[in-house]
Chain A
Amino acid sequence: AQKVTQAQTEISVVEKEDVTLDCVYETRDTTYYLFWYKQPPSGELVFLIRRNSFDEQNEISGRYSWNFQKSTSSFNFTITASQVVDSAVYFCALVNYGGATNKLIFGTGTLLAVQP
């Protein structure tokens, strides 16, 4: 079975704090892709990052960084020096490689509220 778990339902931080959003996944496939999407109050899902299962190198993009660890089936997302504009729901998602559909399997999301 394929499953994505985001145990943190809601997180509230004060601006400029660092925050980490957790993502744990389950899949029987050895090759897969992991994604993070942001859903601001407007509702549109915005792609943030894609990582394939063969690449465990951590990635940094500005204030965003991602930590992928196959040993613990985790793909965590850290925002450094958070800003009010980071307030949104963040979804982690999984796609199995080579599947006929390439459908995204989403977690239930983490609502991040950044207070000024």
Chain B
Amino acid sequence: GAGVSQTPSNKVTEKGKYVELRCDPISGHTALYWYRQSLGQGPEFLIYFQGTGAADDSGLPNDRFFAVRPEGSVSTLKIQRTERGDSAVYLCASSASSGSSRNEQFFGPGTRLTVL
């Protein structure tokens, strides 16, 4: 499979718990994005990685959210002390190169997070 993959596909957790969501981008793609999609809404930007570094994390809603990409490939989005309002589909996308807004972003299937 050459596409973006995300695991798990579904995650149910209890309020206050910690969760990790994983994204495996298309091989060779240096740019990686996380978006969050709430029911009935369009995806909203969370964070952007260029290589290993977070080039823009302005979309993270608060300090309970954190993401890493230690080797410039797989990324993990981490959410501490989850709240019911965190329930959404978390989408990951990758694109071929940095600095080009023309590049198509390829999206993964998403992780549906439900916080009870």
Residues of A within 8 A of B (CB): 4, 32-33, 35, 37, 42-47, 50, 52, 91, 93, 95-109
Q: Which residue of chain B lies nearest to A109 when distances are taken between CB atoms in the complex?
A: B42
Q: Which residue of chain B lies nearest to A9 when distances are taken between CB atoms in the complex?
A: B40
Number of A-B contacts (CB under 8 A): 71
| B108 in contact with A100 (CB, 8 Å) | no
Q: Which residue of chain B lies nearest to A6 when distances are taken between CB atoms in the complex?
A: B42
Instruction: Pick from A37, A43, A105: contact of B89, CB below 8 A.
Output: A43
Q: Note all chain A residues with C-beta closer than 8 A to B109.
A: 42-44
Q: A100-B55, A100-B56, A101-B55 are in contact. Are A33 and B102 (CB under 8 A)?
A: yes
The CA-CA distance from A114 to B112 in the complex, in Å, is 26
| B101 in contact with A106 (CB, 8 Å) | no
Would you give 7 A-B contacts (Cβ < 8 Å), ordered by A? A47-B106, A91-B42, A97-B102, A103-B59, A105-B45, A107-B42, A109-B41
Q: Which residue of chain A lies nearest to B46 when distances are taken between CB atoms in the complex?
A: A103
With most chain A CB atoms within 10 A of its CB, the pick from B42, B93, B95 is: B42
Q: Which B65-116 residues have a C-beta within 8 angstroms of A?
A: 89, 91, 93, 95, 99-110, 112
For the complex formed, measure the closest distance between the CB of A98 and the CB atoms of chain B, giving whole angstroms.
Answer: 7
Q: Does B31 contact A (CB under 8 A)?
A: yes
Q: Note all chain B residues with C-beta closer than 8 A to A96.
A: 101
For the complex formed, measure the closest distance between the CB of A13 and the CB atoms of chain B, giving whole angstroms.
Answer: 20
The CA-CA distance from A91 to B35 in the complex, in Å, is 14
With most chain B CB atoms within 10 A of its CB, the pick from A50, A97, A100, A103 is: A103
For the complex formed, measure the closest distance between the CB of B12 and the CB atoms of chain A, giving whole angstroms.
Answer: 17
Q: Does B43 contact A (CB under 8 A)?
A: yes
The CA-CA distance from A43 to B45 in the complex, in Å, is 17
For the complex formed, measure the closest distance between the CB of B8 and the CB atoms of chain A, giving whole angstroms.
Answer: 14
For the complex formed, measure the closest distance between the CB of B88 and the CB atoms of chain A, giving whole angstroms.
Answer: 12
- Given contacts A44-B110, A105-B45, could you give 8 more A-B pairs where the C-beta distance is less than 8 Å? A4-B42, A45-B93, A52-B102, A101-B58, A102-B31, A103-B56, A109-B40, A109-B41
9 shortest A-B CB distances, which residue pairs?
Answer: A106-B42, A45-B107, A103-B45, A101-B56, A102-B101, A95-B101, A44-B109, A101-B48, A97-B101
Q: A42-B109, A44-B109, A103-B56 are in contact. Are A98 and B42 (CB under 8 A)?
A: no
